[in-house]
Structure 1
């Protein structure tokens, strides 16, 4: 039934009721006449029959627009309750009052024939769109917050729940955007001034798609602040910090794309006309109804119809409403269904009794359509919310049960006094005890009494640490525990303890410690052996240098004596041979010195300090120019940073690289040498020395930094062949690397790096 047809429906029902009213009054009059003609038990039965008819008229007359009929019938009902239903006959005073009541009923019936309909329909509330209409399928949210940073953080967290958000600094901007693309909900995190609340309320006002849910997020938890949001029509209020799980659950609820099924109301009313009227009003509001006129027939509809609400009269034949409510509450599956009494009963004691037996609300007849729909929607909505909460709780408990039973860690729940309530299979296997044995032992019986840390860990929330536990066979083993405390539904302080057997971890740690000790012993031994070997090598190199130099000196001296002895009789060829002998001796001596220097370099301790490479390179180039004044070499020293390096070693490095560049550019008419540094991807610097000398073939680059490997003959360019090997060793001592690029006749470029943030 559409809401627009409610007035017509009410007029039709009133007309039908008015048509049947003379017969109802006549039936009551006949029952009263029968009561006046009998006595005792038959009189009590007749009084109860007349009482039921009077009760129906009292309850239905006002509902259908005949308040005078209800008033007159209610007076007769009070007379019947006070005397005839107890004594079984009418007294003289009762008889006179009953006669006056029948006349009042007939007068009310005669007066109602010329009166316009008086059924109230203007205050009927509209159906609850948020529950009965499909929610918007969109997942778009509007966040109103003048501070964009927390708004973006909130939007990022909501995005994980599948929501897209648009952020607005003021309600006016959000309202303009909502006219083009209405959001699923509005989240407001702004100061709750009067103007702000009015703007937000206007933005969320019902449109063609219904009202937009309005949710407030605010740091104020005061009662007055929450009251303001309720008056603004808020769907929810979340204090900061926001419980994102609860917020997402509410958003999922209000933006669910699946339409909620209509509320279902089970009407228990022995007056068929009144029951039909109630059903029509509720159907007009979008609800489904099921009518039961015989209380004894209620069980099948309870099971099949699955109502969200039960309405019930109190005064009914065979079984009154109070008894029916108690009967329904005896069955656990129906304990939570709300029961609302619709009755003309005015006794406060009776009303209190009805509520104590399982009723949730009491509405006096006559019941207006607005009051009926409002009560039905409120109670049914609350029942639906409780069902959702129960489902969530059931799912949560099932998840906990699955984790509890399948966890590889032991899980024990107990009370603060050490009583064990439950233990999972992993705990039983770990302790080698049954769950019953664990309960009998208690928490104190599971922990090594010699371990003093147990009590402190179990009494604090979030306690973590390692303990010694005792198995059923008396063996002790190490565990890692995590304990927490919480209140049960009954208010008892409970303790949850997670146990993890770390026996294998301890064994592994002991093995690692033993291996570390063995490794340290081996390292010490190897270090001693290496130190001894280095000492022997140093002694050997010094002895070798001394022993090799003596023959060099002797050969060189003998050649000079031989030259002096022969004198002028020495031929030109003999003189050439002597020079060759001296040159070979000199070269052997130089190579011996270079080899010893290279060996000593590996044993030197580096001492890092700030070094200006640019200044140092300038000094080296200046010295080279002074040693070779006849050469005109163009040098470029680019900007150098200060580096952390060993000053002596880096000076030696620059001497090698710049001396090579000076040497291999000697055949160029316009020699050029460039020194500098350039940044590399990922940070750091690469230092370089570039020249335009003779260059080399890259095919032999692997030999470049090897001792005594020369890419040019000694006749072309002098040298011992150990300079670049020494340079490589210096760079490696600084944790860097060195390389070169070149081509024959195109010069050479040498690059090197220094580790440990070599530049600053």
Structure 2
């Protein structure tokens, strides 16, 4: 049915309007006077029944058209009336029309009355539009009808406004962004469902809390100032970025907020705002900045690595050249030193009685200097021979290493009447030749710095650590040393005593330090002057090497 007019049924006066409009529709549709009266009477019967039962009914009159079948139609509906076909009014109305239909649902009851149009109306669609205009412009015949018509127009306008508002709410709730409106004071008037879904707050709660629980504390002052000054923007669109709390996760995510007047005029009292999630974009931008920063760091690291490799290569080349020089120089110096010792000794034995006492003293000093030069050259050779590339590791028994070191020092031990006590020592992976030299140098150092009136006593013990290492201690009862000299004791040419007091070249402990370093261990010492010293060597039980960052056992 195409509706042409309607009447709300609320009092007796509405029956007159219902009868009049039914008569007029039947008249303009071409029905005879008797047919007009019959159709209007049927409508009045049903309308009176609805009016007696609820006074909340609605009459709609219009045209039904399907193919060559055309009829004037009246729909009379009510949400509260309890109506049955047994009602006399309905029985009478049913006899007066060509088609009668009643539909009952829990929500409403609707009665349809059809009266056929005998002559086919051509161009019916255009006719219906003309009749709708005619009814809307028809002059009222009474003050009540005028009031009724205006009331119906207001009700129709209210329905359209409500439908428009519902449509707007449906649209805003369907969009994947937060929409809200503000008054000129920056207070929220309306929000779509997304605002409450995301923040967990209603419009009233946002106004009461002033967004404090929603906007990040660092962004809240500027955000609140923007809301309070929307009216001063003079129609301009205001945009800002801030972090808004997700009620579900508790995280603050970045959003862009845009506020503009609801109307184009700058003096609008309402403003519409949009809140769009840009957190992913922010994270991407930050990732790009971080990536650029990482690239710069990587570039610097690459440049530093190249410089480091260059410096290492230069250092290795210089070290190799230095070792070659030390080895060659010391080797080539041995021959002239041997000759100096030979001729000095020969001259001392055969001609010392021919020179005076001062000359004999000079000759002795020259001979001792030659011996010291020979010792320096030998120690330099020993130090130069200890190289990483020449160091290979294999299982060794430290007890055998200690025994061999004692055999090499047998003469000195007997001369000094020294007592050396060696506790059982473990087997480790190491270089036997270097370890013998290590034990020999430490024991020799303890013998050399023994007290003049006390026979040297040396205790050698070992204990295991929690990290698969063995800690070997060499404790003596010698003269000891000041701990402040410890940092320079393991460097080349360093001596704590004058040449006249104790023999030595300053190479012994430096050689020990180099051997321990090549074995991936440590060496340390502790002492009190006059109370002896304890040298501690820590070595791994198993040696390992790294290839491309992976660790392999030897």
Q: Normalization by structure 1: what TM-score?
A: 0.35
Indicate the structure (1 or 2) with the bigger Cα radius of gyration. 2
